[in-house]
Amino acid sequence: MEKKVFRSRASVLLMVFILAICSPPLISMIRSGDSSLYGMVGVLALIVFIFSGIRYVITEKELQFNTWGTCKVSFPLSKIVSVERSYNPLSSPAASLKRLSVRFKKGCKYPFVLISPVREQEFLETLKERNPDIYIRVDDKKGWWRIWDWDI
């Protein structure tokens, strides 16, 4: 079997939230003519650049996370116990708050990781195909927080 690559879902609302947090300092820097404005704009550009480069790769035996090919982390598929829906805002390799919580067996370096693949159903089917022991519980119920089916 070949490896399958999935990019991260990008949430418009998450980007708006990040900009809302960064806007007051940016506005005050623009008004005062502060030279650190360029640094702040550079940081925002870096965040967008990083978000656009997140990829999840499923190989025959591993689940890998890549960010523009530089930051690579991998987990054996045999260590995955379950995959469930999560809206947890913890820092993770995901550019959306609509996430999947991938839980690992006890004794692993991390108890879980939060990801947000674009083609979620295909991602879950590929995981299940490569390791049938994974328990998958992902509902896609619509809620009041969903705006025009955007991801939060």
CA 98 to chain centre: 8
Quick check: 77 and 132 in contact, CB under 8 A? no
Highest mean pLDDT among 9-13, 35-39, 71-75, 98-102: 98-102
pTM for the whole structure: 0.76
Indicate the CATH number for domain 4-137.
2.30.29.30
What percentage of residues in the chain have a pLDDT greater than 90? 23
The structural domains of the chain, with segments of one domain joined by +, span: 4-137
- Per residue in 55-94, pLDDT tens? 899 999 999 888 876 778 888 999 999 999 888 877 778 8
Quick one: CA dihedral 138, 144, 146, 148, positive or negative?
A: positive
Measured CA to CA, the distance from residue 38 to residue 51 in angstroms comes to 20
